[in-house]
């Protein structure tokens, strides 16, 4: 069975602080994919990143960075110099590649509040 745990239900920081959102996953598969999605107050789900299980390189995109560590089954997301517009619910998700087209397993989300 697959499982994604986002232990931080809510995080509140002051603008310009750095913040890390934790994601821990469980899967028995050797091939899988990890994702982060953002859900701003308007409600839509925005894709941020995909990472496959064979690629443990960290990734940086502007103020966003992702740290994938297979040894600890974690795929953490850091926002540097946070801004009010980063306020949203962030979801980590897992997809095992069994050759089929099954859906994603989502964590429960972390509500990030950036205070001005």
Partner 1 sequence: DAGITQSPRHKVTETGTPVTLRCHQTENHRYMYWYRQDPGHGLRLIHYSYGVKDTDKGEVSDGYSVSRSKTEDFLLTLESATSSQTSVYFCAIRGLAAYNEQFFGPGTRLTVL
Residues near partner 1 (CB under 8 A): 33, 35, 37, 43-45, 47, 50, 52, 91, 93, 95, 97, 99-109
CB of 92 to partner 1, least distance (A): 9
Please answer whether residues 5 and 34 qualify as being in contact, where contact means their C-beta atoms are separated by less than 8 angstroms: no
Round to whole Å and give the CA distance between 95 and 72: 18
CB of 33 to partner 1, least distance (A): 5
Measured from the CB atom, the residue of 43 and 116 that comes closer to partner 1 is 43
Measured from the CB atom, the residue of 74 and 108 that comes closer to partner 1 is 108
Nearest-5° Cα angle at 54, 23 to 5: 15
Measured from the CB atom, the residue of 103 and 116 that comes closer to partner 1 is 103
Please answer whether residues 16 and 114 qualify as being in contact, where contact means their C-beta atoms are separated by less than 8 angstroms: no
CB of 10 to partner 1, least distance (A): 12
CB of 17 to partner 1, least distance (A): 25
Measured from the CB atom, the residue of 15 and 108 that comes closer to partner 1 is 108
Cα-based distances in Å from 86 to 43, 58, 65, 99: 14, 21, 14, 35
How many CA atoms, within 13 angstroms, populate the side-chain half-sphere of residue 102? 14
């Amino acid at each position: 069975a697959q499982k994604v745990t986002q232990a931080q239900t809510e995080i509140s920081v002051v603008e310009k602080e750095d913040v890390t959102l934790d994601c821990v996953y469980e899967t028995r598969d050797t091939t899988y994919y990890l994702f982060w999605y953002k859900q701003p107050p308007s409600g839509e789900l925005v894709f941020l990143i995909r990472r496959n299980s064979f690629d443990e390189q960290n990734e940086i995109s502007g103020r966003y960075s992702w740290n994938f560590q297979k040894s600890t089954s974690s795929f953490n997301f850091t926002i540097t110099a946070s801004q009010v517009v980063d306020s949203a619910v962030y979801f980590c998700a897992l997809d095992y590649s069994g050759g089929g087209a099954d859906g994603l397993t989502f964590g429960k989300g972390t509500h990030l509040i950036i205070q001005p």
